[in-house]
Structure 1
C-alpha cells in the first residue's frame, strides 16, 4: 500500500512540475543530428489522379498506385516514398509528377506500375502545392513565389525555365492553351505562358473568398473558394476576367468549405472539407444550382473524375463514388488508410499504432524500409496514447477510456477488458498499474487483472503534463513547452534534476540511451540527457511533420505523425550530420532593377557564409539583400562553413527588362497632334 501511495505522489509531483516550469532556463538548439529516413506507413490521403485502370494517390510521404479495374475493390499495386509530403499529382505518359511540398517537384517513372522508380526532381524552389502538365513543361505553384515553369523534356534532369510572381500565395494551377490559371489567396490570376521562359501576368479577378482549387472548361474557370462556395469566372478575355456566377450552400447544411473542384459536362464536383462530395449543376453559368451530395464521413480534400465515378480523398483514405445519377450519388468502393496517427509503441518486430479514427493498428516492422499492416482493432472512439506490456496493448480512447487489447496473436487482436477513465490522452504502464492522463488530470488504474481493470485513484490537475518516460532513476516529463527531469531514486521524495524549454509545444517522449526523443508541432526534437542536471537540445528532425507519439528502440525511432502515419527513422546522434546548405528568396523573377532578399535556411549551425550573386558581387552576411540592375539569368551560389566542413547550394534568379508602356496621359488628342506635326514636316 505504501509503494502505491508513493507512485501516486510521484505523478502528482510530475504534474505540478509540468505546470510550473514555464520560466525554467532554456537550452540553445544546435541542429545537426544524424537521422536517416528508413520507412513510412500510412498517412492521410490528400491527392489523387486517375489514368486508365490506375489511381495515383498521395498518402503522406508516399505515392501509391492502386488498381481500380474493379472499382468496388481497389487493390494496392505498389508504393514509393517521395521524401516530402504529397500535395498534388498529375500523370502524363509514363510519368507521375508530384508536388512534394518542401522537396519540390518529384518525377516518378510509372511505366512498370508494380515497380515505380524515382526518375528525377527539382527542389530549387519553395514549398510546392499544386501542379499541371502541358507538353514538355510542368507548371507548379510555389506559395509566395507564384507560378514556376520547369522544363521536364528530360525527366531525369528537370530545369527551371521561367517564373511569374502572381502576387500573394499561390495554391493551385490549371493549364489550358496558352494560359495558366492560378488560385492566389483571394483571386484567380491568369498567366500568359506562350513563352515559357518569360510567363507574364495577363489578368486577375477577385473571387471574394479564399481561392483553393481551380478547374478550367471552355470559357470558364471554376474555383473552389472555401466558405465563399463555388465561383465561376468568365475567362474569354484573359486580360479582363469577370465574375459570372456563384453557388454558396446554405450554412444550415454544414457544407460549403470547398478545397478542390473538377468539372465534367454540365456538373462541377467539389470536395468539401466538411465531409462531403457536392455536385453542382453549372449548365447555366450565371446561376449554378445544387444537384446532389454524398457524405464522405471524413474531410474531403481532392477529387478526380473518370467516367461515372468520382474519386475523392479524405482523412480515412480514397472513396470511389458512383455519380451516374448526379442527384443521388452512391458509394461504389473505397481504399482505407492509416491516417491520423497519435500514439506508437514499438516492441520486437511490431509497432503498435493508434489511429484517431480506426483504433489500434499493428504494423510489422521486421523490414523497416517496408512496413506492412499485420492486424487491427477498432476501439470504438478516437484512439490516442498507447503503451505495450507483455501480450497486452493499453490504449486510451477519447470516448471509451482505457481499452486493454490482447495482442498475443498480432493478426487477430481481441479485447481483453476496459475501464471508463472519462477519456484519455496518454498512458504509461508500470507493474500492475496504468497511469492515464485526461483533460481532468491523472487516473490510476489497477490492471493486475487485465480482464477487469479497476480505477484505483485519481488526482485533478490544471495545466498539461502530456508525456512521461521512465529510465533508470529518472522520470522525463513533457508539457507546457518544456522537458522536466525528475530524480525518482527516492520515490517518497522525488527531486527536480534539470529542465529545458522549447519554442513548440511538447507532446510525446521516449528515452533511449543518452537521448530523449520528443515530438512537437514541427516534428521531432532530440535532447542530450547524459547530464540530467543540464539537458541540451541536440537538434531536430522536421521531415516527419507534426507528430504526437514516439517510441525509440535500439537505433530506430518510430514517430506517429498526426497526418503522416508511422515514420521510421534510423538515429545516430553521436555522428555529426552531413552538412547541408539551403536558402530561399522572397522572389525568383521580376523586372530590373530587381531587389531580392536572400535568407539562409541551412538546417545546421553555420559559422560563415559566402554569397556569390552571379553578377560579380558577393556578400558574407547571413541574410543579404541584393539588387540586380540588368536583364539576365543569374546563378546564385551560397557556400556555408562550420566545424564539419563546407557545403554549397545554387538557385537561379531571372531578371527581365520592364516592358515599354504608353504613359497614362498619352491620349487620342496627343496622338493626333504628333501625327499632324509629322505630316507637315514630311511635306
Structure 2
C-alpha cells in the first residue's frame, strides 16, 4: 500500500514538474532567411516587357514618364505622354529595390546593398551602366509580419543577400521582453549645356537629388553620393542620421528626415557633409513629412506596426530651424503620404480616401474636400497635375478651383 502511494506521488511530482517546465516555454513563429549569392543576385538585373505589379510601392515622375516600384522586385515604366491613357512600356527588374531618383536621363536605384545606375535616354533601350557594390546597409528586410523572432543562424551576409523568408513554428524557452532580432552581422557596409532635369518623388521617398548630390537614407544612416559625373557616381560620405528613418524631403538648403519617433532637420550648406540642426520628437508612429515655407506637415499613422494608437496630421513651425515646435494637430483615420501645392495640402488617408486641406492659414488648416471610395497611399503634386497611387491603381487629377478633377485611373494589374 505504501508503495502504491509512493508511486502516485512520483507521478504527481512528474506531472507538476512537466507543467512547470512547460510554463517556461512557448510556441514562437520564427523567420529564417532565404539566401541568394551576391553573384547571382547582381546578375539578375534585366529589362523586360511590361508585367503585372505584385506589390505596389512608391511613385516617381520624370518628364513624360511615371515610375512605379514593385516592392523588392523592380520598377515599372509608364509612358504618360497622354495622361488620359497612360501605358506601361517596360519593367526594370531590380531585386531588392525600394527607391529611385532620376536626373538628366540617369536613373539611380537601390538594389539591397548596392546602388545601380541606368541610362534611360532611350527608354526602349535602357542600359545598366554602373553598380556601386556594398554601399548600403539594407534598411528593410521585409520580415514577415507574423514573425515573432528571426533566426539568422550562420547566414553569410558578406557573400549572400536575403531574398525571402520561411516562417516555422518552434518551441522556445521564454525570454523576457523578447522581440524580433533584426540586427545584422557586421560587414554589410563597406565603406552639359542643356537645362538639367531632375524628377520628383512622393513623400514616402528615401532618395533625394539636390544639384550634384544624391542623398539616401536607411534605418539610421545617410549615404551621400557625388553625381557630378552622372554615369559614375562616387560614394562621398556615410554618416549617422538618427533612428528608424523612413522618409526624406528636401526644401531650400535643408533635408527633413521623417522617423518613427520624430523629424530630423539637416543643413546641406556643405553638400557632402549634412549638418544636424535639430529634431522634433513625437510619440512613435509612421511618419512622412513635407515642407512649405515656415511649416512642416507630417502624418502619424497609428495601429499595426506603427506603434501609437492615434492617427493625426501635425503642423510644425520650423521658422526657427533650431527649435521646431508643434503648431497644431488634426485627427485622421489611416494616413500615409501627403503633398503641397499652393494653399492646398493633399493627404492620403488610406482607405478613407484623399483629403484636401486649405492651409492658407497654417495654424488653422481646414478640411475642404474628401474623395472617398478610393484607396490612397502617396501623391506627387506636379506643376499641372496631381499623381496619386493607392492599392493597385495610379490616379491622375487636374487642378480646379477648390479641388481636383479626375483625368484618369490606371490599373497596374
Distance 1:242 1:160, change over 3 A: same
Please point out which of 275, 278, 290 is paired with 2:367.
Answer: 290
Q: TM-score, length-normalised on structure 1?
A: 0.41
Please point out which of 61, 68, 75 is paired with 2:80.
Answer: 68
Give the whole-Å Cα distance in 1 for the aligned partners of 2:130 and 2:100: 15
2:356 is the alignment partner of 1:279: yes
1:140-167 CA distance string (max 9 Å, x none): 111132x222222233332322234233
SS of the residue 1:114 aligns to: helix
2:108 is the alignment partner of 1:97: yes
Is the Cα contact below 8 Å between 2:339 and 2:380 reproduced in 1?
A: yes
SS of the residue 1:258 aligns to: coil
Q: 2:61 is matched with which residue?
A: 50
Give the whole-Å Cα distance in 1 for the aligned partners of 2:125 and 2:369: 39
Is the Cα contact below 8 Å between 1:132 and 1:174 reproduced in 2?
A: yes
Is the Cα contact below 8 Å between 2:56 and 2:69 reproduced in 1?
A: yes
- Per-residue deviation at 1:105? 3.6
- Per-residue deviation at 1:69? 2.6
- Per-residue deviation at 1:132? 0.8
Please point out which of 322, 326, 334 is paired with 1:257.
Answer: 334
Please point out which of 355, 366, 386 is paired with 1:310.
Answer: 386
Distance 1:239 1:318, change over 3 A: same
Q: 1:246 is matched with which residue?
A: 329
Is the Cα contact below 8 Å between 2:263 and 2:281 reproduced in 1?
A: yes
Q: TM-score, length-normalised on structure 2?
A: 0.65
- Per-residue deviation at 1:224? 2.4
Give the whole-Å Cα distance in 2 for the aligned partners of 1:32 and 1:330: 46
SS of the residue 1:161 aligns to: strand
Distance 1:235 1:77, change over 3 A: same
Distance 1:115 1:230, change over 3 A: farther
2:106 is the alignment partner of 1:84: no
- Per-residue deviation at 1:185? 1.5
Is the Cα contact below 8 Å between 1:66 and 1:76 reproduced in 2?
A: yes
2:229 is the alignment partner of 1:154: yes
SS of the residue 2:128 aligns to: strand
Distance 1:30 1:80, change over 3 A: closer
SS of the residue 1:83 aligns to: coil
Is the Cα contact below 8 Å between 1:294 and 1:330 reproduced in 2?
A: no
Is the Cα contact below 8 Å between 1:207 and 1:231 reproduced in 2?
A: no
Distance 1:207 1:285, change over 3 A: farther
Give the whole-Å Cα distance in 2 for the aligned partners of 1:264 and 1:224: 17
Please point out which of 238, 243, 253 is paired with 1:168.
Answer: 243
Give the whole-Å Cα distance in 2 for the aligned partners of 1:214 and 1:30: 34
Distance 1:29 1:281, change over 3 A: closer
- Alignment root-mean-square deviation, CA: 3.0
2:137 is the alignment partner of 1:126: yes
Please point out which of 255, 267, 270 is paired with 2:344.
Answer: 267
Is the Cα contact below 8 Å between 2:249 and 2:289 reproduced in 1?
A: yes
What pairs with 1:539-554 in structure 2 (closer than 5 Å)?
Answer: none
Is the Cα contact below 8 Å between 1:207 and 1:225 reproduced in 2?
A: no
Name structure 2 gaps, 5 residues minimum. 1-25, 140-204, 303-310
Is the Cα contact below 8 Å between 2:115 and 2:135 reproduced in 1?
A: no
Name structure 1 gaps, 5 residues minimum. 1-21, 250-255, 339-683
- Per-residue deviation at 1:41? 4.8
1:526-584 CA distance string (max 9 Å, x none): xxxxxxxxxxxxxxxxxxxxxxxxxxxxxxxxxxxxxxxxxxxxxxxxxxxxxxxxxxx
Is the Cα contact below 8 Å between 1:229 and 1:246 reproduced in 2?
A: yes
1:61-117 CA distance string (max 9 Å, x none): 23222222322211123232122233x3333222233355x2444333222233322
- Per-residue deviation at 1:31? 6.2
Distance 1:29 1:230, change over 3 A: closer
Please point out which of 202, 205, 217 is paired with 2:277.
Answer: 202
Q: 1:438 is matched with which residue?
A: none
Is the Cα contact below 8 Å between 1:44 and 1:317 reproduced in 2?
A: no
Is the Cα contact below 8 Å between 2:61 and 2:67 reproduced in 1?
A: yes
Is the Cα contact below 8 Å between 1:323 and 1:330 reproduced in 2?
A: yes
Give the number of equivalent residue pairs.
303
Give the whole-Å Cα distance in 1 for the aligned partners of 2:36 and 2:124: 37
Give the whole-Å Cα distance in 1 for the aligned partners of 2:227 and 2:275: 20
Q: 2:219 is matched with which residue?
A: 143
Distance 1:172 1:63, change over 3 A: same
